[in-house]
């Protein structure tokens, strides 16, 4: 099992910074995230329930007296990127990580009058390619750094929007707002209920002594882009049938009364989204009342819906969910988290059951699949901040 090593991460980061620059740096921290429930609801204007986790991107930084940005990636052999904020900012075709930095700075130069460049060293322990939003954590951290060195008191929600715009327009990935918003606005010991239509948020307290366990199936995610686009088109077709702009505006009652005119596949796609929105609202209520039994039931229902109606799980993911849920009974629950076709499972469970569940996974998963899982024990943490 893996956990965060924030202090050693900070120490290593400062050592590397001191090798390259001569001033003592400040450090910004931005967390990754996991979505507890509410899958494929975001682009339908619905609700999601993520929490920021104790895996993060750290950036050590000092302001410069000129317009240059110098960024060093400690996790990529101290690769270096350097550019001028007073000139047009182009993509870096040699170092993909650089484009998240460049994209954020590009957005901010167009929205704010930036007067200071920056030296920064970047390091992160958010698992990459696991659906835990390492890129969003990097974007939000960079936005916070640029805000700090230019004496801009930019609110967290705006930092999130800057990160999303950078990913959409500069990097070229049409992500929603959830990942950046939870990295910017997370709260310790709370999940965040996000209304993806108007970006309103509500802190949802996590029950005491409850663990957030993330298990990466290490299934390489295939078909994600094409299938994601197909699912979006199917949801749009369903919304058109109900004469609304977004499936968010179709209640469970309206769906049940008028689903007969839908093609079977479109009907099942819509059913997942409409019921998932309700499950997400119910899950927020369950967490606030400390009702892990109801939360577990909702997570299991969410997973079955993703498996049977939205059809985005894999046999390996289903196995992990079954292993965990069979062990937990009514003391918690597990479901796939993320876009689908591989990636991670998230479980909420009492702390004392973590070793038992991990033992079951380690004893069964590799034997059945030939793959080795990665397990991360997490807690709900604050969003972006100076440390």
- Catalytically active residues, by annotation: 179
CB 100 within 8 A of CB 166: yes
| Two tokens, residue 266 | 């479109």
CB 378 within 8 A of CB 53: yes
- Looking up tokens 């479901």 gives 335
Smallest Cα–Cα separation from 298: which of 323, 320, 325? Answer: 325
293 DSSP β-pair partners: none
Name the H helices within the chain: 6-20, 96-111, 134-149, 156-165, 178-185, 224-241, 252-258, 264-288, 292-308, 315-328, 354-369
From residue 285, how far is each of 108, 204, 210, 335, 362 by CA, in Å? 37, 8, 16, 18, 33
CB 167 within 8 A of CB 135: yes
Smallest Cα–Cα separation from 203: which of 189, 212, 190? Answer: 190
CB 55 within 8 A of CB 125: yes
Euclidean distance between CA atoms 162 and 156, whole angstroms: 10
Euclidean distance between CA atoms 146 and 312, whole angstroms: 38
Looking only at the bridges linking them, the beta strands covering 344-350 and 374-378 are unpaired
SS3 194: strand
Looking only at the bridges linking them, the beta strands covering 333-337 and 344-350 are antiparallel
| Two tokens, residue 380 | 């709900």
CA 12, chain centre distance (Å): 25
| Two tokens, residue 242 | 């109900």
From residue 238, how far is each of 160, 183, 243, 264, 340 by CA, in Å? 30, 31, 9, 11, 21
């Amino acid at each position: 099992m893996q956990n965060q090593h924030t202090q050693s991460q900070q120490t290593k980061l400062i050592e590397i910074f001191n090798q390259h620059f001569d001033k003592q740096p400040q450090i910004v921290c931005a967390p990754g995230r996991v979505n507890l429930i509410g899958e494929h609801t975001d682009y339908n204007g619905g609700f999601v329930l993520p929490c920021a986790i104790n895996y993060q991107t750290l950036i050590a930084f000092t302001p410069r007296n000129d317009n240059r940005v110098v960024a060093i990636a400690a996790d990529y052999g101290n690769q270096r990127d350097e550019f001028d904020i007073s000139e047009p900012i182009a993509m870096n075709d040699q170092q993909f990580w650089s484009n998240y930095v460049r994209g954020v700075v590009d957005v901010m130069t167009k929205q704010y009058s930036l007067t200071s460049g920056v030296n920064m060293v970047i390091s992160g322990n958010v698992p990459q390619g696991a659906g835990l939003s390492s890129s969003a954590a990097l974007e939000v951290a960079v936005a916070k750094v640029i805000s700090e060195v230019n004496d801009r008191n930019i609110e967290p929600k705006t930092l999130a929007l800057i990160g999303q715009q950078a990913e959409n327009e500069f990097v070229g990935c049409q992500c929603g707002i959830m990942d950046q918003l939870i990295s910017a606005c997370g709260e310790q010991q709370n999940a965040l209920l996000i209304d993806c239509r108007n970006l309103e948020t509500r802190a949802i307290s996590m029950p005491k002594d409850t663990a957030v366990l993330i298990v990466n199936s290490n299934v390489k995610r295939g078909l994600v882009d094409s299938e994601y686009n197909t699912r979006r088109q199917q949801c749009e077709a369903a919304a058109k049938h109900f004469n609304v702009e977004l499936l968010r505006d179709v209640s469970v009652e309206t769906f049940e009364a008028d689903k007969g005119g839908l093609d079977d596949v479109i009907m099942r796609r819509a059913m997942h989204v409409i019921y998932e929105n309700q499950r997400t609202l119910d899950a927020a209520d369950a967490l606030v009342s400390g009702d892990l039994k109801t939360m577990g039931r909702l997570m299991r229902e969410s997973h079955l819906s993703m498996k049977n109606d939205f059809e985005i799980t894999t046999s390996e993911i289903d196995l992990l969910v079954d292993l965990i849920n069979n062990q937990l009974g009514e003391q918690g629950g597990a479901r796939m988290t993320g876009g689908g076709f591989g990636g991670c499972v998230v479980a909420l469970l009492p702390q004392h059951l973590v070793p038992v569940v991990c033992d079951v996974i380690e004893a069964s998963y590799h034997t059945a699949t030939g793959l080795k899982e990665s397990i991360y024990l997490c807690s709900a943490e604050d969003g972006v901040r100076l440390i």
